[in-house]
Each structure stands twice: as structure tokens, then as C-alpha cells.
């Protein structure tokens, strides 16, 4: 009889990410055939599993739907399902599901905005987040201070942070004046506040941070701040290929789901970040030049290192001093 790791089956069935399920098992919240489960347990088709004392229905690979949505997170929202202090979370704005859960592909801290992916497929989420997959995350960063060539080169070559070595694979300057300069940076993992900490290691402070790409998915006009959009079959297939797993058909929404998702969108209108912005900062997304829906970005002259693709990318400088200070500049493709 074929068996699989318990946390893998729970994640695939939509109860959370694999890491969340490992935590649930460690906390004694999962039982198999009436006995408290342990990390490392494997289960087969005939085993009875309960989560938080409630029997759960597990799904095979073929039964697991693979939906993916792209959400444009505003500043001020938390990447958690519930907050004890009642603050707004990213899950408050997502379309409701029956018998499934949205699983976040990575996290963004409360002061970071931009692209977040959510999926119903725990295996896809786990693969896309795992450091071994080397999936690119690209950010638009506004830095306070004058970054030198030596500082940029140091961040590309790698610096030692408190939780180990870290580096950017690509750093591109995108304009701005004085102490407020925009960059686009690429990183291959998702450690806590890693982008900010890399800049801080050089004595520089990040004043705005926005994720604009995850793998082959770029943040675009389909999702304004506080809005989500479902990815197409082609985009989901590209993510599956990136994760090294078999492509799967995206299920069509039933009439009931269409009505429910439409109502959810109407109720969850786009918002701006909490509190007034400083110095008239714009909280809008990347401009028209960055509205790609897939593929790799085109690279231009890099101040430190190059991307995997090795392609050339233009500077995309903002057209005015005001826009250079306030809006995340885009890449030309």
C-alpha cells in the first residue's frame, strides 16, 4: 500500500501550507486512527485523520483543485488568518471557498505592499516557497541614503545576517534624486525582512518596499491595491512548471461560486494603506511599463551582478522629480 507523509496530504487537501501542518502535528492537533500523530507519520487511503478533534476528508492528487489568485497587498495589512488585536489581514479580502482554504505563497510584512499569491494547492505552495527551488522574487525598493557601488556590490556578493548569509542576485538603479533613490532587486528566498536587512547591513534604510514579481507572475493592472484576480490556466501551468510539478486543469467556477466571488469583490473594495502617507507618497502600483503577465524581466545595466536570464533591461527612469520620489518606477520590457 502506498503511503505519504501526513503533513503533505493535509496541505494538499487545503488545510494549510506544509509548514503550517507540521506545526499542527507538533502541537498535538492531528490524530490518525484515534491516536495523536507525530512528525514523520505516513498515512494511506484507509487511514482516518482528524484535525482539531474533527474528522477531515483528505484528497488524492487528482481530486485536489489548483486555483491561484494574485492579490495586491496594501501597506497596513497582516499576512495572518486572524489577528488578536483585530487588525486587517490579507485573508479578509479574499474570495470565500467551500471545503477549501487559501494558502499564502510566502508572506509580506505589515509595511510592505505588492504581489501575494494564494492557492488551494498545498503542494504547489510548498514547492514555490522552498529555498531549493530558487524562485525569483523581485521588489521595487526606495532607499534613504546614497548607495555606493561598493555597497551594492557587497549585497550581491553576499553579507552575513544574524540568521545566515544572504545576497541579491540582481540590483538595478531606477532613478530618484538626493537621499531617495529607487532600485529593483531580486532575491531567491523569503526569509523574514531579508530585503530590508540586506540594505540595513550597509547602513541604509528602506523607506518603501513593494513586491512586483514572484517567479513568472508580475503585478499588473488586473489587481489594484486591496484587490485580487484569478490567474489564467496558462499562468497556473507556468507556475506548476516552475515548481517542477505536473500541470493541472484549473476548475471552472460554478454559478454559485461566480455569484459569491462577485459579491466578495464588491464588498472588498480597494483601499490605501493605514494612516496618511508621508510627503505625499503614492501607493499605486507599478506604472504601465511593468504590466507583464509572465516571463522573465528584461535586464539592463546592473550595478551589481545579473539575473538568471542575462537579458538586458532599460533604466525606466521616472519623468519628473515628484514621481521619482513617490512612485515605484517600472521596468521597460
State the catalytic residues: 109
Q: CB–CB of 90/71 below 8 Å?
A: yes
What H or E segment, with its residue span, contains residue 154?
helix 149-157
Q: Which long-range contacts (CB under 8 A, 24 or more apart) does 26-31 make?
A: 30/6
CA distance linking residue 93 with residue 60, whole number of Å: 29
In sequence order, the β-bridge partners of residue 217 are 214
CA distance linking residue 181 with residue 176, whole number of Å: 4
Number of Cβ within 10 Å of residue 295's Cβ equals 13
Report helix angle 122-129 to 233-243, nearest 10.
60
CA distance linking residue 295 with residue 307, whole number of Å: 13
CA distance linking residue 37 with residue 281, whole number of Å: 50
CA distance linking residue 12 with residue 267, whole number of Å: 29
What H or E segment, with its residue span, contains residue 73?
strand 68-73
**Best CA proximity match to 126, nearest among 105, 101, 100:** 105
Amino acid at each position: 500500500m502506498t503511503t505519504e507523509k501526513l503533513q503533505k496530504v493535509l496541505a494538499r487537501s487545503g488545510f494549510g501550507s506544509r509548514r503550517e501542518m507540521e506545526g499542527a502535528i507538533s502541537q498535538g492537533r492531528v490524530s490518525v486512527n484515534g491516536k495523536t500523530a507525530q512528525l514523520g507519520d505516513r498515512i494511506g487511503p484507509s487511514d482516518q485523520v482528524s484535525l482539531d478533534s474533527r474528522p477531515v476528508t483528505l484528497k488524492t492528487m487528482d481530486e485536489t483543485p489548483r486555483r491561484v489568485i494574485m492579490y495586491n497587498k496594501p501597506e497596513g495589512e497582516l499576512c495572518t488568518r486572524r489577528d488578536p488585536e483585530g487588525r486587517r489581514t490579507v485573508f479578509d479580502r479574499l474570495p470565500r471557498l467551500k471545503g477549501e482554504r487559501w494558502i499564502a505563497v510566502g508572506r509580506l510584512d505589515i509595511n510592505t505592499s505588492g504581489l501575494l499569491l494564494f492557492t488551494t494547492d498545498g503542494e504547489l505552495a510548498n514547492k514555490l516557497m522552498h529555498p531549493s527551488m530558487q524562485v525569483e522574487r523581485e521588489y521595487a525598493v526606495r532607499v534613504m541614503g546614497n548607495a555606493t557601488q561598493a555597497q551594492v556590490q557587497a549585497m550581491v556578493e553576499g553579507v552575513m545576517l544574524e540568521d545566515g548569509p544572504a545576497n541579491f542576485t540582481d540590483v538595478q538603479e531606477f532613478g530618484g534624486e538626493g537621499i531617495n533613490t529607487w532600485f529593483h532587486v531580486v532575491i531567491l528566498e523569503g526569509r523574514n525582512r531579508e530585503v530590508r536587512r540586506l540594505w540595513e547591513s550597509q547602513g541604509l534604510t528602506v523607506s518603501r518596499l513593494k513586491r512586483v514579481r514572484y517567479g513568472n507572475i508580475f503585478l499588473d493592472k488586473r489587481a489594484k491595491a486591496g484587490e485580487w484576480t484569478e490567474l489564467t490556466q496558462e499562468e497556473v501551468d507556468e507556475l506548476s512548471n516552475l515548481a517542477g510539478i505536473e500541470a493541472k486543469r484549473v476548475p471552472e467556477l460554478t454559478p454559485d461560486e461566480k455569484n459569491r466571488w462577485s459579491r466578495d469583490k464588491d464588498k472588498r473594495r480597494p483601499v490605501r494603506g493605514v494612516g496618511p502617507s508621508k510627503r505625499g507618497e503614492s501607493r499605486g502600483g507599478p506604472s504601465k511599463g511593468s504590466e507583464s503577465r509572465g516571463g522573465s524581466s528584461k535586464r539592463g545595466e546592473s550595478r551589481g551582478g545579473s539575473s538568471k536570464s542575462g537579458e538586458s533591461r532599460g533604466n525606466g527612469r521616472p519623468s519628473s522629480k515628484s514621481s521619482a520620489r513617490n512612485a515605484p518606477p517600472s521596468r521597460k520590457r
